[in-house]
Amino acid sequence: MSDAQIDSTQAAMFSLAGKTAVVTGATSGIGRQQAMALSKAGATVIAVGRNSEALDSLMKELCNGGVAVQADLATADVSTVLSEAIAMTGPVDILCNTAGVNLRQPADDITPESWDQTIKLNLTVPFFLGRALVAGMRERGGGKIINIASLQSERAFANSMAYGASKGGVSQLTRAMAEAWSADGICCNAIGPGFFPTALTAAVFENDELAQRNAAQTAIGRNGKLSDLDGITVFLASAASDYITGQVIFVDGGYTAK
C-alpha cells in the first residue's frame, strides 16, 4: 500500500461525508463549535437552538449547508421537533446532545421547578431525543450519540447541586445507552469538558482570579479553547471510534488527572 493510499484510508476514517448530524444547543458555545467541526468534516448539520438570529448566522457559516430548527427543548416535544428537518435531510447518523443549563443556585435556593428544569434539559431530553433517533440509526446500520458530561460528573462544585446531579446522571445514561444500543452499531459516548469560555461559564471567566486558579489546576496550565473540542467531536462522530462506546472522555487539560 502506497503512502497516498494510507493517507486516503486514514482520512476516510474521520470523514463525515454523506452523514447527517443533529446538534442541540447549536447557537452558542460548545454546541456551535461542534456544529462547525462536524460540517467541516463533511456532515450535513441539523442545528437546534432557541435563538433564530444565531441560527441564521450559523447556517451562513456551515461548510455543507444545514437545516435550522428553532426550539426550546425544555418545553418542546422532542419526539417531533426534528420531524420536518429530517424530512429534508434524511435519517440522522450523529446526535450531539449539547444543550444544557446551569442555574448556579445554592442548595437552599433550589426549588422543585428549578430542579426539574435542570434535570429535564440536561438529562431527560438527551435520553428521549436519542431514543427517538435510534430506530433510524438502526435501519442505517449504526450511528453515533455524543453526550456532554462535565467535571461535575465526577466532582462536586459549590452552588451546582442540581447541575452536578444531572451531569452525574449523564455519565450513567451514556453507559446505559451503550449497553442498550451498541449491539446495533450505535456507539454512545460523552465528552467531559473542563473550563471553556461559554455562556454557562461566563461567571468563571469574568473573574480573572478564578479563571487563573482553574487554569493552574490543569496539567497543561491553561483553560480550554473551544477549538480544543473539534478533534474529539469529529473522532467520536466518525468511523475512527467504531470500537469505543459507553465512555466519558474528559477534555480538560488534565484537570481530573491532578
Give catalytic residue positions: 163
Strands of 44-49's sheet in order across: 66-70, 44-49, 20-24, 94-97, 143-148, 186-193, 248-251
**Alpha-carbon gap, residue 134 to 93, rounded angstroms:** 9
Tell me how far apart the alpha carbons of residues 135 and 251 are, in angstroms, rounded to a whole number: 30
Running DSSP on this structure, what letter comes out for residue 252? S
Burial of 127 (0-12, 13-18, 19+ CB in 10 A): middle
Residue at 237: amino acid letter: A
* DSSP E strands, the chain: 20-24, 44-49, 66-70, 94-97, 143-148, 186-193, 248-251
